[in-house]
Structure 1
């Protein structure tokens, strides 16, 4: 028998001794209905939406997500950092810029710690106010923050933009101290070293808030001049002098730097000088005070402000002899009046 025949016989005999194979079972074929397919698509969409929501939540937590927020839902920071947020020409410029070009730089908000559904500003108060005035949503990054995180972010933004005056920084430091923040937090918020922080707090303690708010931010008045004002306010009757001044129409109509000058001038005048009224002022083309002319019982005192027009004082000194000569020349052509040399010669 051939080898292949032997193999066939062996397989045939083995198969004969086994149970016959069971008939094949036809597998059930599932045919998805339209409803089932739609349910699958819905589940896929829900999963995608959940992943997107998680990503947005992570972005919001990191302050990376820029949202459009209704300004009516935004409250200011608990720490005041400006004497006047909307009462100056710079704010009007900001409003016009946003009206024309839109808001380019987002503000930083946190979910309000006490009012659900509302927000609190870390920085960007003026942009929020401008958006509210224009009836626009404010573009904002929203990030959960502690009180300390908020004031540090607020202070650092102000330091980087350099748009707070000395007295505003001083009041910001004093308010944070009054709210119980420690000195390291104050220094971090204002990017100030210990000695500088001490000066901020000293000026803020020595000048009443009502005086600062009456004057305004006075960005051209630095620490030395605010220290001068603090010293002048210690004199007897000084607060009453300032209260009388800030009620005057001329004071109310003046810009903030001019108001500072007016307060200093009023406190420096003696009672005798006060009888002669306010000093006459000569302004440079920029509008800044260049010359101050003050009359008293001795005559006329002229004060030139060198920093307004560098070199002007030297120019004035050089021209004074010519003015004296011109005066004498005109006097000699006059009607013989007895006119004396102002120098006493």
Structure 2
């Protein structure tokens, strides 16, 4: 028992350290840009004012998106459907909003699909996260560096955060390399302090450039990966299921609760097997919205409610395929 508690404690400490890396590096970058570069090195001349304003706006944009990614208030299935499996069985619905009640009553909580871990109704595309201990609507993946799930409620902000972080790191690298090469030594500090400060100046700038370089590959990988999922209208688990399906395996077909793939229909193209694939443009707008002016803003513009999704087939078509027996080719 003590060993389990100790293991859990170590795991929590490691998770805390990993999730604190990003905030710590941003604080260090802020110190090097504002204090070391703008104040101590450039002494707030015209160039430093431009650097200060540009960096402050960029960092503010990063922080806003970072906070919005972490804001998971009212986005779990328990928040949307606050009743257990037993409540569903007895047709009791506790503190559910009128919209949720109406939806549940109309659909009769189809097949009573509930999570085996938190015993809450699971709408299509929602899955349980063992790290968070909750089910999220259209859960895409878990981000260990932010210690939160990326899903229906925050995928747009996560992508904006990654883009702004890449721009931020590029800004750090360019600004510090230029400063190291072009800033005259007499601008740094008084003459008697030149040698000592020169070491501190170069030390901070070189460390910042190295850290910025190190952050770029994982940030770029996550950005490309999530843009791929958005354009394909897939979650990470759906991506794995479709990959297996295309290789002839039905091991993860249970991930889908809608679409032709639920009928074990063989040899479907990936775009048809995934019932949520519309086209690249529509898939992108499902997450970022129809208003192009909102795409870059840290405002909520994702379409839908996270429980129902537009699909590439009609419900009547699926019912017809379910009820109509297949006709052998020799009789066609």
Tell me the TM-score normalised to structure 1 length.
0.21
Based on CA coordinates, which of the two structures has the bigger radius of gyration?
Answer: 1
Tell me the TM-score normalised to structure 2 length.
0.21
Higher strand share: 1
